[in-house]
Amino acid sequence: MSSIKYTDQHEWVSVEGDIATIGVTNYAQEQLGDVVYVELPETGKTLAKGDEAAVIESVKAASEVYAPLSGEVVETNGGLEDAPAGVNEDAMGEGWFIKIKVADESELSELMDEAAYKSFVDGLE
């Protein structure tokens, strides 16, 4: 079963087994506007929680995507480099950024569930 968690930096994490898929939330892509460039890390790179995991540029701003969990990058969504608008079209699905092999599952407990994230976003508006 997949469980989705969120960060206060507007990343989402879906974990299946020991693999976490990471992307930015719909709120983040809406705030960024039209995404024009995505820079992803190399497969095999080890990330610590909080490390810069990717860069996303839009017509409004450039922003970093931070690793919500520690682990090794096992896959990147290369399609985003060719078609970065995929982030705007399906941020919580096909617009994912990276997949990592989770190093410390206990870090998941520090992330927000959907209700907590929705409350967090509501407080920003």
List, for residues 1-53, the tens digit of each pLDDT value. 358 999 999 999 999 999 999 999 999 999 999 999 999 999 999 999 999 99
DSSP single-letter state for residue 119: H
At 25 the pLDDT is 96
Cβ density class 26-55: b for 16+ within 10 Å, e for less: bbbbeebeebeebbbbeeebebebeeebbe
* Domains in the chain with CATH codes: 3-122 (2.40.50.100)
3-state secondary structure of 118: helix
At 1 the pLDDT is 36
